[in-house]
Structure 1
Amino acid sequence: MYKLGILTRNATHYATLLEQAQLPDLHIEFCQDHVDTMPDLSQIDILLAEPKLAAQVVLNCPKLKWLQSTWAGNKPLFDLAKKDYLLSGVKDVFQDAMAEYVFAYMLYFSRNIEGFKQRQQKALWQAPVHTTLKGKNLGILGVGNIGKGVAQKAQAFGMQVRGLSHSSRDCMHVDQYFTWSEITTFCAGLDYLLCLLPHSQQTEGVIDAKLLALLPTHCVLINAGRGQTINEQDLLTALQQNTLKAAVLDVFSLEPLISSHPFWSMENVYITQHTAAESQPEDINKIFVKNYVLFMQNLPLQGLLDFHRGY
C-alpha cells in the first residue's frame, strides 16, 4: 500500500477526484493546503503537490519515491539537495490556455482595440491605425510543449515564427530556429517576443538591457514563463524610455508584485497576476492517475523531469 500526501491549494478537490478514481493500493495519508502544521511524513511514498509547498517538506520525507508536481515550474524543488526520488511535471494541459492568452494580447495590439475605443468615446468615425497579425514576426524563447502550441496557432494566423531553444528543434510550425549565439538575428525585426523559458541558472536574467536593445521599438514583450528570466530594472528602463512598445507581464521575480512597484502605474505595462495558463485539478488529476499506473508497473513516467538539467 502506497501512502500519498496531497499538498496544494486545491487539496480537498484533488482528494475527491482521487477517491473517485479508486486507484489500487493507494491510501491518502493527508490532504492540506498549507505547511504550518504537518503530520508525520516519515512514511510518505508519494506526494501530489505544488512545488513551493513541497520544497518545504520533502527533506522530511525519507521514503519519498515519487512527487507529482501540479505546476509547470519546479525550480524550488530543483534547488534542493534531495534528488533521490522521481519528479514528474505537467505537460499537454497548458497549450490552449496559453495560446488564448498570447493571442488575446497580440490581437489587442495589432487591431488597436484601445484606439478604436478612444475614437468611439469621441464619436469619431475615422479609424485609428491598425493592422493584422498576418506577416508579423513572432519570436518564442523556449519552444517546449507550450511554445509549440502557440507556434501552431501563430502559423494559422499567417505569422512568421522564430524559435530559440536549447534542445527542442522539432516543431514544424517554427519557420526558423536560432541559438543564443544568434540572438541578434533572432531579435531583429520582431513584432512580438514571447518568453516561455523555465527558471534555471542558465535563464536567470537573460532578458536584460543588452537583449532589449536588440528589439525594435514597436516590439511587444510578453512574459508568461518565469519572472526571474527578466532583469526587471532593465525592462523598467526600456519601457520608461519607450525603446519598447509595451510589456505584457504575467509573472514576476517576486510574487505577489509589491503594490509600490512602478509597473502597476505604467500605461505600457499590462499585468495579469500569474493567470496566463492556470493548473486545473481535473487536468492534473488525469496526469496523476496515468502516472500512478505507470509507477505501479515500474515504467517511465510521463513528464519525468531531469534534476541535472532543471526541467
Structure 2
Amino acid sequence: MALLYKADPVRGATWQKLFGAEAPEIDFRHWPDTGNLADIRYLAAWTVTPDLLASLPNLEVLFSTGAGVDQLDLTQVPDHIQVVRMVEPGITEGMVEYASFATLALHRHMLHYRKAQAEARWAPIKLVPAKDRRIGVMGLGNLGRAVLTRLGSYGFALSGWSRSPQQVDGVTCHAGAEAMPAFLAGCDILICLLPLTAETHGILCRKTFDLLPDGAALVNVGRGGHLVESDLLAALDAGKLSGAVLDVTEPEPLPNDHPFWRHPAILLTPHVASMTQPESAARVLMGNIRQHRQGLAMLGTVTRGRGY
C-alpha cells in the first residue's frame, strides 16, 4: 500500500518524516522516487496530468493538497478514482483569522484611513456599531460556517447564501438563485467563500454589485475566477462599492501594471488567507487513508457533479 506525494517538496519532506514515525504501514514515496508504479494506491498532489494518472494502474484515491479542487480538471480523472480535498484545522483557523481581519478593516474604514495617512489628513468617520453592520457570507461549507461563528462574536448581523438550503445558528440563511437578490440587499460587507465551479465563475460581477446596498464592501477569499475585475473597478470608481479586500486573483501573481496594485480602495494580499499546516495536514491524510482501507467514508470527499 503506497502513497505517492507530488507537490511542494519542503512540505513533502515533513510529511515523509511524519508518516515514517506515525504511519509506518503506509509506504510514503516522494516524487520523483516513485518505485514500482503498480504499488501506488494513493496520490497526493496539487495538480495532475492524464499521463501521470495513466501511469498509475492501481490508483484508488487522488488527494488534493489544498482546500479546493478547482485547480484539477476532474474530467481527466477516471471515474473509479475518488477525489478528496484537504480539510484540516490549520486551513480553517487561518481563514477565520483572515476573514475577521478583512471584515474589521472594512467595518472600521481602514482603507479610508490608510489613504488619509498617506495624504496627512486627519479625517475621522463616525463609528457604526457592529450590530448595525450586516455581514453576508457566500458559501456555507466548513469554512463559511467557521467564519460566521467568529464574526458573530463581534455582534454583527449575519446572513449566508448557498446553492442548497442550510441552517446555521444565529445566521439568516438563503438558498438558490431566486434568493440571491434578498440576500445581497442585506449585505453591507459581502464575503465570498464559494468553491469555484462553472456555476460560480464570474459571480462577483456588475449584476451582483448592483444588488448590494450603496457603499457596500467586498472580501474575496474564494478564487480569482469568481471576480469580474472590470466590474469591480467600475463599481469602486462609481462609488457603488466603498472598498474591497482581495486575497485571490486571476492570474496569480498579477502583472506589475495591473490596476489592483495601486487602487486606493483595494487591499490586495498574495493568496495568504489560509495555508495548510504540514503537521496537522499529514495527520488528516493518514486518517483518511486508514478510513479508506477500512471501507469507511473519508473527510473531504468530492462530489464530481458539484465540483466540491
Structure 1 length normalisation: TM-score? 0.88
Q: 2:113 & 2:263 partners in 1: Cα distance? A: 20
After the TM superposition, which of the residue ranges 232-241 and 11-20 deviates more from structure 2?
232-241
Q: 2:274 & 2:37 partners in 1: Cα distance? A: 31
Shift of residue 42, structure 1, vs aligned partner? 4.8
1:203 aligns with: 200
The 8 Å contact of residues 85 and 300 in structure 2, kept in 1 or not, is answered as: yes
Shift of residue 223, structure 1, vs aligned partner? 0.6
The 8 Å contact of residues 136 and 190 in structure 2, kept in 1 or not, is answered as: yes
User: Alignment identity in percent?
Assistant: 27
1:67 aligns with: 62
* Structure-2 change in CA distance of 1:204 and 1:13 (3 Å): same
Q: 1:62 & 1:241 partners in 2: Cα distance? A: 56
* Higher relative contact order (Cα pairs below 8 Å, separated by 6+ residues): 2
Secondary structure, counterpart of 1:57 in structure 2: helix
The 8 Å contact of residues 55 and 77 in structure 1, kept in 2 or not, is answered as: no
Q: 1:297 & 1:257 partners in 2: Cα distance? A: 45
The 8 Å contact of residues 138 and 192 in structure 2, kept in 1 or not, is answered as: yes
* Structure-2 change in CA distance of 1:186 and 1:82 (3 Å): same
Deviations 1:96-138 (A, max 9, x none): 22121111122122223466675799696x8443333223111
1:46 partner letter: Y
The 8 Å contact of residues 246 and 266 in structure 2, kept in 1 or not, is answered as: yes
1:256 aligns with: 253
User: What is the correspondence of 1:17-56 to structure 2 with a 5 Å cutoff?
Assistant: 17-24=18-25, 26-31=26-31, 41-50=37-46, 52-53=47-48
2:23 partner letter: Q
* Structure-2 change in CA distance of 1:82 and 1:232 (3 Å): farther
After the TM superposition, which of the residue ranges 196-205 and 238-247 deviates more from structure 2?
238-247
1:5 aligns with: 4
2:53 aligns with: 58
* Structure-2 change in CA distance of 1:57 and 1:187 (3 Å): same
User: What is the correspondence of 1:82-161 to structure 2 with a 5 Å cutoff?
Assistant: 82-93=78-89, 94-113=91-110, 118=116, 127-161=124-158
Structure 2: unaligned runs, 5 residues or longer = none
Once superposed, what is the RMSD of the aligned Cα atoms?
2.5
2:16 aligns with: 15
Deviations 1:161-208 (A, max 9, x none): 111111350322322324321222111142100000111111111121
Shift of residue 232, structure 1, vs aligned partner? 1.7
